Amino acid sequence: FEAFAKGDILQILFFAILFGYGLSRLGESGKGLLATFDKISKVFFNIMKVVMSLAPIGAFGGMAYTVGKFGTDALLPMVKLMGSVYLTMFLFVFVVLNIICRIYKFSLWHYLKYIRQEILVVLGTSSSESALPSMMEKLERYGCSRSVVGLVIPTGYSFNLDGTTIYLSMSVIFLSQAFSIPLSWEQQLTIIGILMLTSKGAAAVTGGGFIVLTSTLVAIKVIPVESVAILLGVDRFMSEARAITNLIGNGVATIVIAKSEGEFHLLAAPIGGGIDEVAS
């Protein structure tokens, strides 16, 4: 319990992994305890929602003070960060994912057009979880088997967080540069390892990426935790981008796995702009 008292995230994560493994070995007898922890986690996330809903007020005050004292030039680094994050996610979707789509012979553009309603929902809520039911239904109609969709999409919400990964890595680098803190290769690799653990489940919750970023800084103990306050004003805008990137990436992963496992059925594909059309 000393780790909980001191806030040593790595030790807490290690204990959580061991505890989760032990809980999974209980089988049916452990479902009651699992449901209890699930409810407790929802309580804490609801608390964080309240905090995050009030955060813009504090961010407004902080940014107003900064601009009033140092001028509008103080906002330039934030604009650069947002631009860099958006550009990186844009390149990831339309270059990296597009190459994958071409390899597996389906059109990224038709896929994006097909899920445009889900993209708009995620844009409005800043959470990819809001589009989960309709996304699963559409991917089944798109041609993927129900078993693949039921496995890949929920798993992807925890393990395939493309947008969140881009946001977290770039935010850490931004904060290190903002506070003139050089990061060695060892420290950067350590940060990557910690992010691989702390980012699980962040995509489904609005503002979850910001919480993960804070816990990561606590764990690495190199960049001041209070430095995340300067990101509050722009986190909402980047939250939308990372949620949309997560949604698109999970859908592409589902289609790729369905095709590679022979679980993609052409007859289920929508008429007009079907998935099996190769991008021109």
Domain spans of the chain?
A: 56-268
Average model confidence (pLDDT) across the chain: 79
pTM of the complete model:
0.73
- How large is the average pLDDT for residues 47-53? 69
- Report pLDDT for 111: 93
pLDDT over 70 for what percent of the chain?
79
Cβ(181)–Cβ(222) below 8 Å: yes
3-state DSSP assignment of residue 200: coil
Burial 143-158 (b: 16+ CB within 10 A, else e): bbbeebbeebbeebbe
Phi, psi (5° rounding) for residue 183? -115, 125
What are 100-112's pLDDT values in tens digits?
A: 999 998 999 999 9
- Compare 121 and 128 and report the one with higher pLDDT: 121
- 93 has a pLDDT exceeding 80: yes
What are 175-234's pLDDT values in tens digits?
A: 888 888 888 888 888 887 777 777 665 655 566 677 778 777 877 778 888 788 778 777
Phi, psi (5° rounding) for residue 211? -65, -40
56-268: CATH topology? Proton glutamate symport protein (1.10.3860)
Highest mean pLDDT among 83-87, 129-133, 137-141, 175-179: 83-87
